[in-house]
Amino acid sequence: MENQNDEARKETSPHDSGDSAQYGTDRSKFPDSGILEAFSRAVSGIVKAISPSVVSLMIHSRPGMNSMELLGAGSGVVIAPDGYILTNSHVVHSADRIEAMFTDGQKMEAKVVGEDQATDIAALRVPASGLPFSVPGNSEGLSVGQIVIAIGNPMGFDSTVSSGVVSALGRALRSQDGRLIENIIQHTAPLNPGNSGGPLLDSRGTVIGINTAIIAMAQGIGFAIPSNTAGWVLSQLLSHGRVRRGYLGIAGRQYPLPRRIVNYHNLAVDSAVEIVSIQPDGPAGRAGLSIGDLIVEIDGKDKSAPVVSGMTA
């Protein structure tokens, strides 16, 4: 009996040199490994190319007349060679002094150009030129399931990287301080607070969002402000020093349109904003709109465009 057990153990032992191939050394057993290796190389290449434009932001406060304390840290992404940086509003909102640290160890003081708490976007600038930068792309074409990469540079350490997929689009979620932030990208690339303000990239290395860790929810869920929203906010901040929004005088909710309605009217969208309340003396009320009406565009712009979504209040 003992000899039989020993013989059985020999036959099934993973250390048997004759069977070693089935335990991972024979790569033909894993035909998809080449795909994973290609994906790994692609992510590494993207991180190498983008990381120099990702900065660490050290936020200092002034508790006394002659002292300065480190209040917190976050990340940002340089979007122009002359020193413009995008980050989160909540990262820099309470700062008396902001220090930007690059991956090569260079440090510069950053000044706030402007911020918009409603979208959690802020623009900074450092006194430099010829900086490595990443131009934000078009986030309009994002789809659920698309691969994304999140990069941060907390406290000046080497870039922290995580990857995942887009899990939802167009979310409206409330932040820890009670503010409602609309049109958010939800993804599965894990974030930590030090990564707030860093870029969210697609599989081609294009910046398609600015990550935000202001919303505390379940682990494994990340959020980002779409690059189109961030770009619109930036243009407003550079032009006016603040975001100027239109006003409709309504409260609305997302309303999915039946396919037959979309086809019949040849609509470019498959959802609308349903009016659930309206101020009679507001612009929408004076124009004749009423509760239950559906809005698909305003002045020729899709109702999901940043300039339009900012008006539905």
Examine the residue annotation and report whether 196 is marked as an active-site residue of this protein: yes
| Given 90, 134, 163, 304, the catalytic residue | 90
| Given 120, 139, 162, 187, the catalytic residue | 120
- Rounded CA-CA distance 135/196 in Å is 18
Examine the residue annotation and report whether 167 is marked as an active-site residue of this protein: no
Q: How far is CA 157 from CA 45, 47, 74, 116, in A?
A: 19, 14, 12, 28
| Given 159, 163, 167, 196, the catalytic residue | 196
Q: The tokens 């922290």 sit on which residue? A: 160
127: which 2 tokens?
């006194």
Contact yes or no for 85/122 (Cβ under 8 A): no
> Nearest Cα to 208, choosing from 73, 49, 77, 42?
77
Amino acid at 30: F
23: which 2 tokens?
């335990």
The runs of H, that is alpha helices, within 166-226 are: none
Contact yes or no for 147/205 (Cβ under 8 A): no
- The DSSP letter of residue 193 is G
Contact yes or no for 73/55 (Cβ under 8 A): no
Bridge partners for 116 per DSSP: 121
What 3-state DSSP class applies to 22? helix
Amino acid at 38: A
Examine the residue annotation and report whether 44 is marked as an active-site residue of this protein: no
Active-site positions read: 90, 120, 196
